[in-house]
Amino acid sequence: MVEQGEIRVVRCGGSTINYRKAIFTLDSKYLLCTSGDMVKVYSTATEECVHVLQGHTNLVTGIALNPTNHLQVYSCSMDGTIKLWDFTDNILIKTFTVGYKLLALYTSKAHEGCVFVIIPKENDEALDSFQLVAVRLPKSSDQEVAATELSFVLNDVSQLPKCTSYGREGEFVASVKGLHLTVYFFRNQKTYRLSLNATPKKGANNIFTCVACHPKEDCIATGHEDGKIRLWRNFNRKKEYTHSTHHWHHSAVNDLSFTPEGTNLLSGGIESVLVQWRYGEETKKDFLPRLGAAIAHISTSPEGSLYCTSHSDNKITIIQSNLRVSAVIQGLVKGDNIKTDLMIDPRTKALVLNGKPGHLQFYSLQHDKQLYNLDIVQQEYINQSGLHQFDVVKAAFDAQGSWLATVEERKEKLADLEIQLKIWVYKDEMQSFVLNTTITSPHEDHITALCFCNTNETTMLVTTGRDGRFKAWVLGDDSDIYRESVCWSCDFVGTYHNLLATNCCFSEDGSLLAVGFEQIITIWNPNTWDLVCTFCQPPGKIKDLCFGRLSCSKYLLGTTTNSFLCCWNLLTCTLEWSVGLNVILLQLDPLSENVAAFSCAAENSDLFVFRPNEPRPVYLQKNICQGSVQRAVFTPRDVPEENCSESSQWLNRSQLYFLTRDMDLMTFSTKTEEDRLTSSSKQLLIEENVPVTPFYLLLGKHRQAKLDAENGTLAAQVQLPQGSVAIKELLQTPAHVLPSATFLCTMFVNSLLISKDGKSEVPEEAEEEMESEKEEDETSDQEMDSQHKVKPEYFVEELVPKLSKKEERDLKRVRKTDYSWLCPFYGKLP
Amino acid sequence: MATDGGSSVFVSPCAFSPKSHQYLALSTQDGSLRVWDTQSNTLYQEYVPSAHLSATCTCLAWGPCRTFKDGPQRKKRKSEVAQHGGQLDLLALGTAAGTVLLYSTVKGQLHSKLDGGHDSKVNCVRWHPENNSLYSCSDDSHIVEWDLQTGKVKCKWKADKCAVSCLCLSPDGKMLLSAGQTIKMWDLETKEVYRRFTGHATAVSMLCFANTRPPTRGMEGLYFLSGAAHDRMLSVWQVRSDGKDKNAVLSFTLTDEPIYVDLAMSQSKDEAVKLAVVCKDNQMHLFEHVLNGHCKKPLSPSCSVQVASPGSVGDSVPWPVPIMAAALTIDKQALLLAYGSGLQPVIERTTLNAGETHVCLVRDIQASLTLRTETTVTKVKTPTVKADAKLLVPGLPGHSAPNKSTPLETKRKPGSDTKEMSIEERLGVIDLSPVEGHKGVHKGGLPLQTDSFAVLLVQGLESSDSNILNKVFQTKKEVLIKKTVARLPIPAVLPLVQELSKRMQGHPYSGVLMVRWLKAVFTFHASYLSTLPSLVSQLGVLYHMIESRVKMFHKLSRLHGKLYLLITQIAATDKSHSVAALDQTAKLVYEEDSSEEEEEGTGDEMLAEEEDSDHWEEEEEMKEVTERSDKGEEHSDEEMNMENKLNGDSDLEPDNESEEE
């Protein structure tokens, strides 16, 4: 996108975090999850986002830890690249360009230097045919490498990552699609295809939804559309496979996961209950109910102490292995559509919109963090598809934030509409909202709009309904001898020729009320409830309506469905100007005269900022996003900006946020703001120096003392046999490939001898190696690369024991001495 | 000096995070550190240092925090790789053992432990605004400069003869203030004393710079504040080039020793410094002053804030709620207050009216505490729903507009006047009505019963005694009601109508009773009611209610009809089933074979059963016979026809047989 002038459209948080399975790091301290075209690293202890790995240009579709280095992570994206990151320091190490759209990523310990991805056949997603391929990652020191060596593994797999799983030690891969389970063994390259009958019984639906492989045994667990879980065994022998069925979920099993030791199987679905099945005795189950929303993904930490579930409401719950929720990472809850407007709570300056079903969420835009959900409906939400429940559809705050009006609706197909209007007061004493008045069925049909009167003297709420009425509610005295209280009651019901009332809006001083009835705008005096005048306009229903502010308070703006933006002068009661513009959203800045109008033309949205007194826009930006803008809101800034240039002055006092069609929250940022941010992001380098724990004091010190003693007395002590590389080799090599004992004898004896130069440095050396590795991780990516380069070669050598033993030994000695020589230099090198 | 200055009552150290005041860090008496989210008012983190009892936290300071969450993320632009390596939101804690801990709120764990600087209690820690350094002072009279990159002591020097109680760094990071016996200003480059100030008689508990350094001259024109234990004054000092800066330039009066000070620095010369000071007596004072040189008279606060519990509910006496910390928000308009207990503080954002000098905020801590129990994990706040919340259903007054017809619209305001007038009238009526009632008694002796009912009703209406009214309204006799209403004095009609409409809103059952009364009222007093000017508003409520209830009538009657149909159908099928069942039992018994089988099966009961079966058989046969005979008698004609037909058939049969043959 071309940068236009000084103002840019930026994404401002609230991104999706539940798109793919989140993964734990090896030490369970961090949780990595995909979020749009980024990968976010969260701390599992504090729920705080520690790093954001940015670099992909399209949706990130999969992440997996590097099996050879647990401080690195691979990510794959729709942009056709696989990137290797160091997530502790937020460094992009390498980019592998594959050239296909990548839909899922798997790594396996058994397949060194190779990752598995799912790609669409012929790189065309429309074909709806996908295949699993292995990508050999070339070893090269370059930052950007083209990985072209693809080898085909499985054909016709599901594009969802949870439909493919790697088995014990990466020996086989299991993939499900439709009614088939396919198992592919890497060793003998055989494919087994197990199928289920389409519908053996009425009401049963056997379609596979997900698969998980047992980490230690040859067992595959599959989840099904009808809520059944099947455990497959003996699948490597044709016709002899067995499966057992377990049924708890009433609807589709969304995800399955084995714990790392394979003792438990976790499953979840729309019921939002995490079920823990004991492996081997599946009748024993543990449940963690009421997780809030349907479970989409489940993953476990490598050490098994934590589980995490991703939920459909953009939330990740971190659960301890004893099934207690320890943390909740909550993003902005975004449903399919947001029924309430975006609002700003005047009290906390938080963004308010629909949250969990039946709740309003308060979201801090400054810190990109959900503050809390306010339970409006106060009914237990039942997670079941096809159930109609109360939901908040409209809400409004008054200017001071002391009153909140909410509308909740429940509509079932054949029954009547149930509507409740609740008016809440913010009680300072209790620091919370308190219900003041509940009005059941305030209108006989859907409420289309509601707004508070802005003045201080009168508190009035106006609601308009599709029953052709608008009602004014006023705060009145409801005291009796027992208590003093206030409550809301209806003051006026207005109609106009039985037309549907669609919009309402108060003027800034509260002296006029504009109500839109389909094509006609009526202006009322809220004091006497006289109809002051009506405005008719070129035919077309009114979409938006608002009064001008401050110096433009004599204007009334309206937009119609047939692409007109009109401005009336209230003093002369005439049309001041009108523009043919397909405005989909009109938003007023509460702190200035500016009005933002979003228009949609040809799949792209444009923004026009103007003042009502002149039809010429103050600012114009085309192509702010794809699709039409859903909602928008102006938020007041804490500290006014000082933008001198004319085009960005409208952003000085408030900031404009909007929601795109894809439910991304975007904002406009000015150059000065960015400069300020980049200048302030000066970072502090502070050495991490965690003090020793009491456990270390007990054990570590003891061990260190022992080590010192060993070094002090020198040599006389025999090294532990395990310490020697040769012995290790000897013990690890399978017996049938070992040479004769006589041959080994010399080697063994040699290893027991104390070498002249090294003496007892061997264990130290190993330690140093470890340390240097750590340092390398922390210092810079260059060193990381070199180390990375060295390492695979090392492994390759180990994997190919083709050399004769003598040669090998010589080589080993050379290497050993080499290393000990190199080590000090290595450390000293700048 | 330090010992008597060291506060006898433990004041838990607390601090708001800088800039956006997102968090409040609070160290409690047991040494655990709690970080509260100020926006959602929930516990954000809790950390207990491993040596929290032996090395209790004595002071804490926030390091430079991330301003925003990485700022707005750049969209569709290849970002510079690792432009920032991750901020950690560090919090420095000084402990009683002389160590300094750095806690990262992002990681939720200890980041670093700085050891080997002090031998005694750390009194104050301060971050350098730019470098990677941290300053701490201790009871051992030393100041230590820490290099955070290495975690080692960079510099350590003796600053005073006795304990150094407080530190402060100048906003540009070049100067350091320390307070021991006197207040000293150090040049950080040379580590030499730049200036000395007299200081306070007791241990200085706080130091704070009030403005940024004017760019022209050296250190001149720099102001700073100091407060001390047991001192009800905040002194302001000015650094002057002429050396006449030994004494304080001005002072702010307080009600007690200051425990928390937040200051909004003045950026320019004319801008006032805003100051929020929390005192030990649970008051918070706001000051606003333009710093321009000497001022002899101590300045008093522009506003004082106290927090108190509402006394009225349970405990009768309102008690003051301690304020722990206060901070001015970035826009300097609002105020962030933390009050309550150290275990569960309440953090509130308030805007104070400019005019008021004394503000008492009534806050129910208990109620807000109970609200916040589960919020930390679930992040759901449940707003309070009390029983006394008003519920408006269609039909109740207030659900719909009070008046409908437009002509009365204009009379709305005068109407309210007449209503007030009518109280006088009503008083007059009260005087009149009993007299009339008595007259009635005197006049008609015969219909005593009804008459006394009318009197009772009038009395009930006047005193609005629900007992009397209940008694009266419970009659169901139409005649009685009619007569009572007929004899009702005119002024009592309107109260009666009001009472009736009020009672109509109650239980639907009572509505049935009330309708009779209303009918009677309308038949007897229609002429009077029509003369009333406020008729529409009086009866409007009634009208709305009846309308809304009638609106449902159509649907209800339909539902009733359907249900009736359904129930009767079910009942009918049940009946037919039961009949069928009876038949079946009879048939079962009729089966001869079965009985025979049983006979074969069981030897002993054979005889009895045989007899039984015989009896049954006979009976059945008898029945059949009688039925046949009945039928035969009744439909003899038909049978005749049938027989004819049969005959006809039989005529045909032989043919068929022949064919078969």
State how far the Cα of A403 lies from the Cα of A558, in Å rounded to an integer: 27
Burial-class residue A174 by CB neighbours within 10 Å (0-12, 13-18, 19+).
Answer: buried
B335 pLDDT higher than 50: yes
Of A20-24, A34-38, B318-322, B511-515, highest mean pLDDT: A20-24
List beta partners, residue B228: B204
Q: B497: how many CB neighbours lie within 10 A of its CB?
A: 21
Neighboring chain B residues of A435 at a CB cutoff of 8 Å: 383-386, 389
Neighboring chain A residues of B64 at a CB cutoff of 8 Å: 684
Q: Are B24 and B16 in contact (CB under 8 A)?
A: yes
Nearest CA in chain B to A430: B368
A429/B371 Cβ within 8 A: no
List beta partners, residue A91: A86
Per-residue confidence (pLDDT) for residue B588, from 0 to 100: 58
The closest CB to that of A439, out of B22, B44, B392, belongs to B392
A225 pLDDT higher than 50: yes
The closest CB to that of A687, out of B75, B150, B382, belongs to B150
Per-residue confidence (pLDDT) for residue A5, from 0 to 100: 56
Distances (CA, A) of A44 to A41, A49, A307: 9, 9, 11
Q: Which two tokens stand for residue A186?
A: 């890497």
Could you give the 3-state DSSP secondary structure of residue A785? helix
User: Mean pLDDT throughout B471-496?
Assistant: 83
A538 pLDDT higher than 80: no
- Residue A793's pLDDT band, with cuts at 50, 70 and 90, is very low
Mean pLDDT lowest among A122-131, B473-482, B640-649: B640-649
Best to test chain B binding among A52, A429, A693 (most B CBs inside 10 Å): A429
Nearest CA in chain B to A31: B107
Structure pTM?
Answer: 0.73
The closest CB to that of A490, out of B37, B330, B400, belongs to B400
Q: Are strands A274-278 and A264-269 parallel, antiparallel or unpaired?
A: antiparallel
Q: Tokens 């008054």 map to which residue?
A: A398
Angle separating helix axes B535-590 and B508-531, nearest 10 degrees: 150
> Does the beta carbon of A677 lie under 8 angstroms from any beta carbon of chain B?
yes
Per-residue confidence (pLDDT) for residue B625, from 0 to 100: 44
Q: Find, among A380, A278, A372, the residue nearest to A333 by Cα.
A: A372
State how far the Cα of A667 lies from the Cα of A654, in Å rounded to an integer: 11
B364/A430 Cβ within 8 A: yes
B563 pLDDT higher than 50: yes
- Residue B46's pLDDT band, with cuts at 50, 70 and 90, is confident
Neighboring chain B residues of A428 at a CB cutoff of 8 Å: 348, 350, 361-363
A38/B73 Cβ within 8 A: yes
Helices vs strands, H then E, count in chain B = 13, 30
A569 pLDDT higher than 70: yes
The full DSSP string for B209-260 is E-BPPPSSSSSTT-EEEEEETT--EEEEEE--TTS--SS-SEEEE-SS-EEE
Helix (H) or strand (E) holding A209: strand A208-213
A92/B40 Cβ within 8 A: no
pLDDT tens figures, A334-366: 776 788 888 998 888 889 988 888 888 888 888
User: Mean pLDDT throughout B634-644?
Assistant: 44
The answer, yes or no, to whether ipTM is higher than 0.90 is: no
Q: Are A759 and A715 in contact (CB under 8 A)?
A: yes
Neighboring chain B residues of A368 at a CB cutoff of 8 Å: 68-69
Q: Measured between CA atoms, how close is B98 to chain A, in angstroms? A: 15
A278-306 as b/e: b if 16+ CB within 10 A: ebeebeeeeebeebbbbbbbbbbbeebbb
| Mean per-residue pLDDT over chain B, rounded | 73
Angle separating helix axes B592-601 and B606-634, nearest 10 degrees: 170
Show Cβ contacts of residue A606 under 8 Å, excluding neighbours closer than 6 positions.
A598, A599, A600, A620, A621, A622, A623, A624
Q: Measured between CA atoms, how close is B234 to chain A, in angstroms? A: 29
Distances (CA, A) of B587 to A458, A709, B584, B596, B617: 84, 105, 5, 15, 11
- Residue A296's pLDDT band, with cuts at 50, 70 and 90, is very high
Q: Are A130 and A158 in contact (CB under 8 A)?
A: yes
The closest CB to that of B70, out of A52, A292, A431, belongs to A52
B86/A373 Cβ within 8 A: no
- Residue B3's pLDDT band, with cuts at 50, 70 and 90, is very low
What one-letter code names the amino acid at B75?
Answer: K
Distances (CA, A) of A337 to A288, A292, A545, A625, B361: 29, 19, 22, 17, 41
**pLDDT-above-90 percentage for chain A:** 11
Q: Are B299 and B317 in contact (CB under 8 A)?
A: no
Scan residues 656-675 of A and list those with Cβ closer than 8 Å to B: 666-667, 669, 674
Neighboring chain B residues of A55 at a CB cutoff of 8 Å: 78-79, 81
Q: Count CA atoms closer than 13 A to B388's CA, side-chain side.
A: 9
- Residue A700's pLDDT band, with cuts at 50, 70 and 90, is low
Would the CA dihedral through A201, A202, A203, A207 be positive or negative? positive
Mean pLDDT lowest among A38-47, A183-192, A786-795: A786-795
Show Cβ contacts of residue A31 under 8 Å, excluding neighbours closer than 6 positions.
A22, A23, A24, A25, A41, A42, A43, A44, A308, A316, A318, A329
A371/B329 Cβ within 8 A: no
Give me the long-range contacts of A771-778 (CB less than 8 A, separation at least 24). A772/A823, A772/A826, A772/A827, A775/A827, A777/A71, A777/A86, A777/A88, A777/A89, A778/A89
Q: Find, among A24, A114, A615, A9, the residue nearest to A305 by Cα.
A: A24
Q: Are A350 and A362 in contact (CB under 8 A)?
A: yes
* Between B590 and B555, the higher pLDDT residue: B555
A51/B72 Cβ within 8 A: no
List beta partners, residue A413: none
Neighboring chain B residues of A434 at a CB cutoff of 8 Å: 383-386, 389
The closest CB to that of A685, out of B149, B383, B398, belongs to B149
Nearest CA in chain A to B368: A430
A689/B81 Cβ within 8 A: no
Q: Are A391 and A418 in contact (CB under 8 A)?
A: no
3-state helix, strand, coil in chain A (%, to 5): 15, 40, 40
The closest CB to that of B82, out of A43, A91, A432, belongs to A91
Mean pLDDT lowest among A286-290, A438-442, A764-768, B587-591: A764-768
Per-residue confidence (pLDDT) for residue B446, from 0 to 100: 42
State how far the Cα of A771 lies from the Cα of A792, in Å rounded to an integer: 19
A481 pLDDT higher than 80: no
- Residue A715's pLDDT band, with cuts at 50, 70 and 90, is very low
Per-residue confidence (pLDDT) for residue B297, from 0 to 100: 84
- Residue A202's pLDDT band, with cuts at 50, 70 and 90, is low
A52/B73 Cβ within 8 A: yes
Helices vs strands, H then E, count in chain A = 8, 57
State how far the Cα of A109 lies from the Cα of B517, in Å rounded to an integer: 89
pLDDT tens figures, B530-545: 887 777 777 777 787 7
Scan residues 8-67 of A and list those with Cβ closer than 8 Å to B: 8-13, 29, 38, 43, 45-46, 48-52, 54-55, 57
B78/A438 Cβ within 8 A: no
Q: Which two tokens stand for residue B188?
A: 């950080």
Q: Tokens 């750390």 map to which residue?
A: B122
Per-residue confidence (pLDDT) for residue A790, from 0 to 100: 40
User: Mean pLDDT throughout A245-270?
Assistant: 90
A694/B50 Cβ within 8 A: yes
A487/B398 Cβ within 8 A: yes
- Residue B86's pLDDT band, with cuts at 50, 70 and 90, is very low
A731 pLDDT higher than 60: yes
Q: Find, among B2, B132, B105, B111, the residue nearest to B58 by Cα.
A: B2
List beta partners, residue B345: B340
> Does the beta carbon of A622 lie under 8 angstroms from any beta carbon of chain B?
no
Mean pLDDT lowest among A290-299, A383-392, B337-346, B429-438: B429-438
Scan residues 357-416 of A and list those with Cβ closer than 8 Å to B: 359, 362, 364, 366-376, 378
